[in-house]
Amino acid sequence: MDIMDAVRERHSVRKYTDKPIEGETLHGLLAVIDECNRESGLHIQLVKDEKAFDCLKARYGRFSGVANYIALVGKDTPELYELVGYYGEKIVIRAQMLGLSTCWVAGTYKKIPGAFDAEPEEKLTAVISVGYGANKGVQHRSKKPEKVAPDYDTAPEWFRKGVDAALLAPTAINQQKFMFLYNGGKVSAQALRGPYSMIDLGIVKYHFEIGSGKGRDVWK
């Protein structure tokens, strides 16, 4: 599966089978987590067989069978949320390529102290459930590209492809509160007001880079 297939096929999955993550798949998942931590300085961890989804909030959120999640931990700085969004989504897309399903979760879980490591200056921002999905999820409803990118019709094709990929990204309550502006070959990306919209910003910037084929130097 190539990376754009993974972007297209990824949907949030909240119901999992009891098949454990092991062998090459586990190895691949741990490898991308390691790679992200080395690049970002974050302290992201895979938590296996734990009880964060065994609570009323998670049942209300329609989660079942969650045996593993990724704890998005990092130093409590102003950049933390965008950073977690970017690298968390890199892990999500790699998980999809490994045949796993995921769901970003900032609200409908319970923090279990001791289940993950966090230094005193670090904080758990959100988690991502991960495992073999009992279903493939469904395509979310989406805003029109012109709504999130006023330059969509006049900008180059790579910009349009980047915006299209961003609109396929997960966002909190599917709010899609972001904006991409094209300016002389560079792009500025902004988060609008909304719950967790700074995490969303990191997520959609990662999708934009994949869709457009541009590197991190595309950002203004």
Binding site for ligand FMN (CB under 6 A): 11-12, 14, 61, 103-108, 126, 137, 140, 170-174, 196, 199-200, 203
The H or E element containing residue 3 is helix 3-9
Shortest Å, Cβ 22 to ligand FMN: 25
d(CA 210, CA 18): 32
CA angle 50, 51, 53 (to 5 degrees): 115
Judged by beta carbon, residue 107 or residue 213, the one nearer ligand FMN is 107
Pairing of β 186-191 and β 178-183: antiparallel
Shortest Å, Cβ 28 to ligand FMN: 21
Judged by beta carbon, residue 155 or residue 201, the one nearer ligand FMN is 201
Shortest Å, Cβ 61 to ligand FMN: 4
Q: Which amino acid is at 164?
A: D
Shortest Å, Cβ 57 to ligand FMN: 8
Name, in order, each residue with C-beta under 8 angstroms of 120's C-beta and a sequence gap of 6 or more. Answer: none
Q: Which residue is nearest to ligand FMN (CB)?
A: 170
